[in-house]
Amino acid sequence: MANTSENIISALGLDTTATETPIPGERRSDFRRSVNMSGVCEFSNTQERVDCSIVDITNSGAQLTMPDTGSVPDQFKLYVVPLNTILDCRVEWRQETRLGVSFTTLSDSIL
């Protein structure tokens, strides 16, 4: 099931009734929803996995934290553990322990 990023929040079962607007000066066009979800970044080129935490999420991307972002490739799959869902991601920005990613597709869940 390849959904567009516009359907990510709904497909993840998160609250879609939020009426808040983005903060002035914010580059994101979507309202961020703070979450505390565990995730696993899976890298197809090395078959390596790195545990992460999903800090916030929008229809178009998320902010992740992990011990070190240096080994994370520019594109990878994010397994959202509590939702049993895989998201294809592209790194938009990178700090030592944080990543900003955009979603490219919603893959089939592993149900």
In the predicted model, is pLDDT for residue 29 greater than 50? yes
Confidence of residue 4 (pLDDT cuts 50, 70, 90): very low
In the predicted model, is pLDDT for residue 111 greater than 70? no
CA dist 56 and 37 (Å) reads 9
Report which DSSP code applies to 28: -
pTM exceeds 0.85 for this model: no
Domains of the chain: 5-106 (2.40.10.220)
CA dist 92 and 103 (Å) reads 10
Mean per-residue pLDDT, 29-58:
87
Q: Which residues pair with 80 in a beta bridge?
A: 39, 85
In the predicted model, is pLDDT for residue 110 greater than 50? no
CA dist 23 and 27 (Å) reads 9
